[in-house]
Structure formats: structure tokens, C-alpha cells
Amino acid sequence: MGKVILEVRELSTKYVTRFGENVYAVDRVSLKVEEGKSLGIAGESGCGKSTLALSLMGYYFAPLHYISGDIIIDGQNISKMHPDEVRRKILGKEIAYIPQAAMNALNPTLKIINFIEDVIHAHDPKVPKKEIHDMARQRFEELGLPAEVLQKYPVELSGGMKQRTVIATSVILSPKVLIADEPSSALDVTSQKMVIKMLKDMMEKGLVKAMIFITHELPLLYNVTDDIMVMYAGQIVEQGTAQQVVFDPLHPYSKGLMGSIIVPESGVRDVKLTAIPGAPPNLKRPPQGCRFADRCKYVQAECRVQSIYMREAANNRAYRCIFPEEQLRKVYQNE
């Protein structure tokens, strides 16, 4: 087993709304990512993927609040650190985050290079401009972005180029962990492919040591990540390798998700898509028992009684369901 770069133990966080209600969007999530590996997070919209991404940074501000659990980056536990310390010492250097609408983060009135100066000065106001310019040029070249981009304003760049610019900027300080939340979902397929190539290059060149990649596009997730975790209603419901989770899902929810994949490959037209009826539960009052129960074809009375825990399966896998692996497989086979 490789060196663990990111370890998360039982992390729980919540939103507190304007009306003082709690929304439990991340519930006792545990994960590990080893050096050189990437972990994908799948799930429908509203399942808590973005909240988990934000929570992993250890930098909480309203309405998001920390409840409990540990975040350990390369041996250093950041979950009990003061927010100011997290901002100064951790963000950008240990862990970096590309938000869902990243390209909108660029300031339209600043040239890219001046934007990068601002980003770096927010960490350390004393870095000389010359040094920043050199760093930026080097990083852009390493990632196949033309250095002339640095002298442009955002409006002069295409959507795909803006997105790659933001990504290159976010790894300028060589963070150990990169968290990418839907980094290509707003782009067309050609720009999407460029973004993905760039993320892969970053991993290969060791510019980042571990990556968490979030998207609802399953074929993309499958191609980018080593392992996949499926999230439902704030909890992890299945975890395994990308291969296992996509081609041999165990949890009924994962099974449903994988049945909705469409790709332009022969044979696809002969398979009926599965649609999971209904919607994820309200996280203000998460249901007792299995959170998927209302939508599960195989629900039993006992599913609703008490919390369902993750159970281990063969080949280092785990899933959250009352049924043993053999029984689930048997049910799936008979469908």
C-alpha cells in the first residue's frame, strides 16, 4: 500500500439556514487516498458532493459548520486548526479546491497574471512579483497552456481556456491534494477532454499527489479515477475501485445510477435505461434507517428501523445495505 496522502475519519458537517434549521449534508464520511491516486465521488444532485468537497478543506464559514471528525493531510491533522491558520498554512499549499463554477472566479477587470498575483499575495504578501511571474510561466508551460494567456483578460479567453487557467492557477503552490468539483461539466465535450488531460498530466507529473474528483457524469468519473465512492443523502453508500463500482455495483442505489449511463458505443441502444423514481430525502430531517428506503425496490421493514452501517465485501469493497453480498447478486441476476 502506498503512502496515505489524505485521510478523513468520520467527518460530519452541516449547514445552518437563515431560519436556524440544520441541514446534515455530510454524515460520518471516511476515506483514504494514497499517493498518486485519485478518488471519484458520484451521486445525484443534492446528495452532498459539493458540501463534502468544501468540508474537506477544513475551512468553514457560515452557513457551513464543522460538527466532528478528522481530516489528516500527509500526517497533519487540520480539523482542529484555527480558521486563520488553515487559510495561511493549508489552503493552496496542502490542499486546493476547484469549485463547481470555477471559471467565474476570474476577475473580469484583471489580466490573468494580476489575478495570479492577487491569489498568491493572499497567502503571502511578501512574494516578489518577478518570482510570481516566473512561477506562473513555468506552471503554464508545464501544463501546455500558452504563456501569452497570462497577459489576457478573461473575456479574451474561451470557456475551456478560462477553466484550464483557473486550474493551473490553483496548483501554482503545488498542493498535495487537489479537489475538483465538476471541473468540466459546463464545457462542451472537446474542452472537457482538454481539462481532463490536464488534470491527468498534473497527477503524472506529480504537481499534485492525490486528487478527489467529483462529477455526476459517470463515464467521465470512470475514466479519470482509480477508486469511486457513491454518495447518497450525505452518506457514503458504496466504495470500491472504479471498475468494481461501474461494472459490478453492489448497493441498490449504485446499481440504479450505473443503469442510467449512456455512451456512444454499440449495444447501448439495446439496453433499457433504469430511472430511479423519486428524489433524495430532505436532509433537514434525514430518515431513520436506510436513507434510500423510499426509493429502493428491495426495501424490507427492517431497513427503516435503525441506521444501516457500511459492511465489508470481498476485494476490499464496502457498501451500506442490510443484504449480504451474495443475496444482492442473486436478486440482480434474476432481474
Partner 1 sequence: MNDTVLQGVNLTKVFGWGKQKTIAVDHVNFEIRAGEVCSIVGESGSGKTTLAKMLLGLLNPTEGEIYFQGKKRDISTQRKKREYWKNIQAIFQDPYSAYNIFNKIDTLLLDCIRMRGDFWLPREKKIELMSEACSFVNLEYKELTNKYPFELSGGQMQRLMIARIFLLKPKILIADEPTSMIDACSRATILDMLMKLRDEVGMTIIFITHDIGLAYYVSDTVYIMERGKIVESGSADQVILTPHHPYTRRLISDVPKIHEAWDLSTVTYSGL
Ligand X SMILES: Nc1ncnc2c1ncn2[C@@H]1O[C@H](COP(=O)(O)OP(=O)(O)O)[C@@H](O)[C@H]1O
C-alpha–C-alpha distance, residues 82 and 84, integer Å: 6
Ranges of H-type helices in the chain: 49-56, 83-85, 112-123, 129-142, 159-170, 189-204, 218-224, 242-247, 252-258, 325-333
* Residue among 50, 104, 185, 241 that touches partner 1 (CB under 8 A): 185
What are the distances in angstroms from CA 228 to CA 59, 219, 238, 317?
A: 24, 12, 8, 10
Contact between 256 and partner 1 (CB under 8 A)? yes
Segment 146 to 175, residues that bind partner 1, using CB under 8 A: 146, 148-149, 152, 156-159, 161
**Shortest Å distance, C-beta 243 to ligand X:** 23
Contact between 236 and ligand SF4 (CB under 6 A)? no
Stretch that binds partner 1, among 53-61, 124-132, 255-263, 318-326 (CB under 8 A): 255-263
C-alpha–C-alpha distance, residues 221 and 242, integer Å: 8
- Per-residue contact string for residues 8-47; x = within reach of Mg ion by CB under 5 A: ----------------------------------------
Q: Which is nearer to partner 1, 84 or 270 (CB)?
A: 270
Q: Cis omega (within 30 of 0) on the bond before 63? A: yes
Cα–Cα–Cα angle for 54, 57, 62, rounded to 5 degrees: 55
Stretch that binds ligand SF4, among 49-57, 149-157, 176-184, 297-305 (CB under 6 A): 297-305
Footprint of ligand X on this chain (CB under 6 A)?
Answer: 15, 17, 23, 25, 43, 45-51, 63, 283
Contact between 9 and partner 1 (CB under 8 A)? no
**Maximum C-alpha span of the chain:** 67
Contact between 261 and partner 1 (CB under 8 A)? yes
C-alpha cell at 262: 449512456
* Residue among 29, 103, 195, 290 that touches ligand SF4 (CB under 6 A): 290
C-alpha–C-alpha distance, residues 148 and 59, integer Å: 34
